Structure 1
Amino acid sequence: MAPAPPKQLLPLLLFILVSFTCIWLFSLTASNRSARIQTQQLQIATQTPGPNFTFIVKLLTFNRLSSLSRCLNSLSKANYDAGDAVHLHVYIDHFPLDSRNDSAELDGKLSVSRQIVDFVDGFDWKFGEKLVHYRTTNAGLQAQWLEAWWPSSDHEFAFVVEDDLEVSPLYYRFLKAVILNYYYNASNFSPSIYGASLQRPRFVPGKHGNKMQLDGENQIFLYELVGTWGQL
C-alpha cells in the first residue's frame, strides 16, 4: 500500500487538478464556439443573392487628390468574389464660384479640379462599370450624400464612402455577408434594419436609455448607429 502524500502536498495536488479541469473545459467551450462560427460561415457562403443583385460603390470627392488616390487604391485592392460585378460611381463636386477670387486663385482651383478629373478618368477599375459625375456648380457635402443614390430596384445596394477613408481588403465580403444574412435570409430579415456602417460603434454607458438584453449564444448583435464612414 502506497504511503499517503504529505499534508503540505495536498493543496498543490488540488490546485493542479482544478487547473487541469478548467483548461479542459475552456478547450471544449472554444472548440464548440469555433464549430458554431464555422457553421454560420458555411450557411452564409451557400446563400446566393440572385441574378438581380447589384452592388455599387458611391465615392464622394471634392479637391483632395492624395486622399482620393489612397481611397481608390484601397477599393481596387479589396477582395471581391469571382463573378460579382462591383460598379464604381465617382461624384466630383465643383469648387464654389466667388467673384472675389482673382485669376491666379481661380487658375489654381481649376488646375486641382483638372488633376482630379484626369486621375479618375484614367483610373483602372476592372470589377464593373465606372461612371464619373462631375458637377458644374458647387453642391456641398450634404447634397452629395442626398443625391448620390437613386435605387432602381430592391436588389440594388449602394456603399457610400468619402474620399478621406481607406477601406479594409475584406470590406466587400463583410458587407455581402451582411446582405445575404439579414436581407436575403428570411429567418433573419427585419424591416427595421436599414443598412450597415463600417464605422466603429461607440457606446456611452449611463443611467438612462434602453437596456440591451444579450444572451450568451450570439457572437454579434445589432446596434442603431448613424454612421457616415462607409455606409451601406
Structure 2
Amino acid sequence: MVLRDTTVFTLLFILNLEISPGTTDLLTWNGDNTLLNDEVPWRNLSQLSQLERSSRFNLTVIILTMNRPESLRRLLDSIDKTFFEFSEDKLNLEIHVDKSQGWFYDDCVNIAKNYSLPPGRGTVKPKIFSKNHGLRAAWFESWTPNSISDHAIIIEDDLEVSPLWFSWLRRSWLTYRHRTDLAGIALSRQYMVVQKPDRDFEIENDGVPFLYRLVGTWGFSPHPARWVQLLTWFNSLDSETFDPYVPGLITSDWLHIHTRQGRRHMTWEQWHVFHSNKENLFTLYLNLGSREVLVNNWREAGVHSRTSPNQPDYPLLQSCPIQLQEFPAKLRKYNWNAEEILE
C-alpha cells in the first residue's frame, strides 16, 4: 500500500486515536520480506505446533454489546468452552457496552462487570460507555494494535463461537499474517455474493481456506497493519460527505439507504469494502462441507433486523475435522462475483 503522505496520515491517526508510537510502523507495513504471499513459514504440522508455542501471538477478544443480555450470556458461555491446546494459552477479553437505557442495558452492564474467564485463561476488562456512539464507532474505535503480533477478534453479542475457534484462528494467523493481500480472517461462513445481481451463494473450495473480497462481519479478526491503514485512511476523510461507492456492489446501495434513513453512523462495512477494493485486499474464509461453522449468528433483533428467528444460521463445529489442519500455501482467490481470480 502506498500512502500519499505518510507524515500527514500518521499525524492524523495519532490525533484521532491516540495511539502509541509503535503503531506508526504498521502504517507502512507491506510484508515481512522473508516470505512471498504463496509461501508459508512451516513445512509440516509439527513445525506449525512449534510456531504456536514460540511465536508471539497476543489476542484480544472484543465483544460489542448494548441491550441484549441473554445474547451476551450465550456468547460468553460459548467462550467459556473454548478449547486451549497449551497451558499458557490466554485471552485478553474486553466487553464494550454501548450506552442505552432500561433494564436490558443495566443487565448487560452487570454481566460485563461480573464476568470472568475460566481460571488461568486470561483477563476481562469491561468498558462501559457514557454516551451512545453507534455501531460504526463501536467497530472503528474498538481496537488499535501496536505490532504485527497483536491480534484481535471483534464479536457482536448475537454470535456464538465453536470450542475450536481459538486454535484455528491462531494457526491461520501464524500461517498467513505475512501476506500483503490479507485484510483479515473471518470465523463466519462465506454465504453471499454482493456484486449485482446479488444473491446467496457459498464458495465450497473443497472445504479448505480461501480468499474472498468481502469482509466477514461476524467474528472478524482484522490484519493488524491493514486495520491501522484502514482507520488512518478513514480518519483522513470527511465521513459525512465522502461516498465510498464501489460500482456494481449492493453494499454501496445499502450505505445510501442508511444515509437517507439518518443511520449512516450505524454501518461500517462499506468503508472496509471500498478500502479493500482500492488496495486489492481479501478476507480469509473457511466453508466446511459439513456446513458447520466456527461462529454462528442468532440474528437477534437490533440494528440490522427487527425480528429474531430464535435459531442460529448454521450449527457450531464441535469436533475437529481434518480441514482445520489444512492451510494451503497457495490460496485460491475469488472476486466480488465469486468467480475465481486466475493469476
TM-score for the superposition, normalised by structure 1:
0.65
Superposed displacement of residue 67, structure 1: 0.3
Shift of 1:228: 0.6
1:56 counterpart = 2:50: no
Deviation at 1:164, TM superposition (A): 0.2
Distance 2:194 2:99 in 1: 42
Partner of 2:105: 113
The equivalent of 1:230 in structure 2 is 219
- Tell me whether 54-63 or 193-202 shows the greater mean CA deviation: 193-202
Root-mean-square deviation (CA, aligned residues, Å) is: 2.8
Say if 2:97 is the partner of 1:92.
yes
User: Is the counterpart of residue 125 in structure 1 residue 117 in structure 2?
Assistant: yes
Q: Percent identity?
A: 32
Post-superposition CA distance 1:149-205 (Å, at most 9, x none): 01122211000000000011101111011011112xxxxx32111210012113649
The 1:144/1:203 distance shift into structure 2, 3 A limit, reads: closer
SS in 1 for 2:74: helix
Evaluate the alpha carbon distance shift between residue 91 and residue 218 of structure 1 in structure 2; reply closer, same or farther with a 3 A threshold. Answer: closer
- The CA deviation at 1:50 is 4.2
Distance 1:110 1:41, change over 3 A: same
Shift of 1:43: 3.7
The residue identity in structure 1 corresponding to 2:91 is V
Deviates more, 1:143-152 or 1:41-50: 41-50
Report the alpha carbon displacement of residue 84 of structure 1 after superposing the two structures with TM.
1.6
**Counterpart for residue 213 of structure 1:** none
Matched residue count: 169
Greater strand fraction, Structure 1 or Structure 2: 2
Higher gyration radius (CA)? 1
Task: Name the SS of the counterpart of 2:158 in structure 1.
Answer: coil
* Matched AA of 1:133: K
> If each structure's helix is expressed as a fraction of its own residues, which one has the higher value?
1
Matching of residues 1-232 of structure 1 within 5 Å:
40-48=44-52, 50=54, 52-82=56-86, 83-95=88-100, 109-126=101-118, 127-183=121-177, 189-202=178-191, 204=193, 219-232=208-221
Query: Alpha-carbon deviations, 1:51-73, whole Å to 9, x = none?
Result: 64211100000100000000111
Partner amino acid, structure 2, of 1:195 = G
Q: Distance in 1 between matches of 2:145 and 2:208?
A: 32
Counterpart AA for 2:191? R
- Gaps of at least 5 residues in structure 2 are 1-42, 198-204, 222-343
Alpha-carbon distance in structure 2 between the residues aligned to 1:155 and 1:162 = 23
Q: Which runs of 4+ in 1 moved over 6 A?
A: none
Distance in 2, matches of 1:141 and 1:200, equals: 22
TM-score when normalising by structure 2: 0.45
1:111-135 per-position Cα deviation (integer Å, ceiling 9, x unaligned): 3322222122221213111111000
Counterpart secondary structure, 2:210: coil
Question: Secondary structure of 1:180's match?
Answer: helix
Shift of residue 79 of structure 1? 0.7
The one-letter code sitting in structure 2 at the alignment partner of 1:230 is G
Higher RCO, 1 or 2 (CA under 8 Å, sep at least 6)?
1
